[in-house]
Structure 1
């Protein structure tokens, strides 16, 4: 590649990054629609192989997605709403319990000074905010009334997602074929192989890791509710979402469940604590021995620190759009860096060592 072409590619990437930065407020529905199309394409392809037309296959897949969403709204949302309201009610009591029982015990065990904890200030702030209203619906209504245009924009984006997803899914194979037809003929094989590797990594994450998160959230939520934890569903779903980072879901969910169990059952009640330990132990065993090997495998290759950095950097640069883009972009960059590393090891820049492998290093 000549220097002029290198500068042309660099300018193109810089322009693309600037364009994404400028358009990120309106990109969210298109990115979510693209995600739906990417997730649904294998199902539509399978229906096509069974003799169904592409359009009817897309209609059936979207109908399936709609039924799953409707079931979640009818069953899960009311339960989650009740637990959120319960958390809203017990938050001041949990702070009282921390201030009067848990933290003094920890303070005595660790030998900390008497004014080390500042829970009274935190309690005053939270109680003040909670005391501003006793009606959550009234608060939400006031917020909606104050930002009606923002609500209309949010609803418009929400309605745009299925429309974008439907048309992208219907024309997915056609768009891929047209993009392949634009590739330079002498580089087509290499670029297709590179894109195939990126597709394998993205598929492993988007389909595999998301299913692992869903399964872990279900396991934790059902297990904690069977233990009798009032906030079991909320903590289980939180742990499932946090499982996007390896071991983060276990740490967050286990810590929150222990605190909730200690507060709800009073003191160190043995059986609820054992139940919490059993639930998260079973979840970890199933994740390590069954879910991750079966649904994800070893194809992602993203280090947990890289996952955390990608999510935080994406959110800082592009907001919610950046969070949606963070891990897919990080997975693609990981594949490209792997190939760049191979090219570097074969290049003249890397070269050969000036001394043999058995020669001692020079002390001059």
Structure 2
């Protein structure tokens, strides 16, 4: 009976995976809604402890999220748009600088052949494309409106996200209580322990690490703009987003900032020193303040696991897979930890120790 029950469970998991694969084109707004509700639930619970009703607490949290989104749309998005257009315009000049200034210096230092670097074709193609259009936003809108049905579907999904988030956030505690009530009584404590460990890992990333990313993005962008780097906002935000993997944001952001600084300022000491100081301050704040305060000593996913999960999820399910990547990786990591503990307690592991013959001492 136990064997047949396990087979039924395995078949059920396979059917669930197949169903998710079929429905993944429409799952994105629901997954984003679940993510927003999961991140907003602690704020709602705290407001409830301040004697607000659940509904009014959700309304306050939604108003806060809406205000943040409004500031993002009115302030940050236009600035980023201008910097993207500027980067698009500077690309041929940057290629010229690489071809005639930076790479010849590298070539002379390493003793490479004169014909080692070939950028003529790439620069010609980029210049030709730049001549056709300089309005990136217009090109994106033209592509998006090529199919009116696709545009309506995209707008529908966008409007569906706040609706799903609101109802999930309002009924979050009720849904969790009902799901817990459906658990088998004998396995309830064990399942609750597993879910708690998954919640610890997810909390470290979806709340702690995302806040660290946001803080680092603000620090890097503000510092680079104060230094006078023309593309400082864009590079700083990219470095903050890349910080989802420890040290990747520093490597990507510092490399891009130094390259942009050499192109803009040349080999000048003080601007390059300012860029290095910005990233040094960011790393010190991350290690000594941000990560201990926002993430703490909670167990997070290994950086290699984060990279693999995001790439694998995107390859298998597209954007939906990217949204599912970290939660699924957290659950798998917790399960593997328990499998490892069970293996250490199993007869197979103990037999390998008991049956191991220690080498005799030649003395």
Q: TM-score, normalization: structure 2?
A: 0.96
**Structure 1: distance between partners of 2:71 and 2:184:** 47
Q: Map 1:161-200 to 2 at 5 A.
A: 161-200=161-200
Distance (Å, rounded) in 2 between the aligned partners of 1:129 and 1:236 = 27
RMSD of aligned residue pairs (Cα, Å): 1.7
Equivalence for 2:45: 45
Corresponding position of 2:33: 33
Query: What displacement does 1:166 show?
Result: 0.2
Q: CA deviation at 1:88?
A: 1.2
Residue matched to 2:272: 273
* Structure 1 gaps, min length 5: none
1:13 — aligned with what? 13
Shift of 1:264: 0.7
After alignment, is 299-308 or 57-66 more displaced?
299-308
| C-alpha deviation, 1:161, in angstroms | 0.3
1:83 and 1:147 map into 2 onto residues whose CA distance is 29
Q: Is the 8 A contact 1:38 1:169 kept in 2?
A: yes
Contact 1:212 1:291 in 2 (8 A): yes
Q: Is the 8 A contact 2:240 2:249 kept in 1?
A: yes
Question: How far apart, in 2, do the equivalents of 1:133 and 1:193 lie?
Answer: 56
Matched, 1:253 2:253: yes
Deviation at residue 350 of structure 1 after TM alignment: 2.3
CA distance in 1, matches of 2:212, 2:66: 21
Instruction: Return the alpha-carbon distance in structure 2 between the equivalents of residues 139 and 19 of structure 1.
Output: 35
Equivalent residues of 2:201, 2:299 under 8 A apart: yes
Give the superposition deviation at 1:331: 1.2
Measure, in 2, the Cα distance between the counterparts of 1:219 and 1:151. Answer: 36
Q: Judge which range, 291-300 or 87-96, deviates more.
A: 291-300
Q: Aligned residue for 2:323?
A: 324
Structure 2: unaligned runs, 5 residues or longer: none
Aligned residues: 361
The answer on 1:92 being equivalent to 2:92 is yes
How does the TM-score come out when normalised to structure 1?
Answer: 0.95
Would you say 1:335 and 2:334 are equivalent positions?
Answer: yes
User: Which range moved further: 228-237 or 117-126?
Assistant: 117-126
Q: Is the 8 A contact 2:315 2:321 kept in 1?
A: yes
Task: State whether structure 2 residue 98 is matched by structure 1 residue 83.
Answer: no
* Offset of residue 136 of structure 1: 3.4
How many angstroms apart in 2 are the aligned matches of 1:118 and 1:18? 47
Change over 3 Å in CA distance of 1:226–1:172 after alignment to 2: same
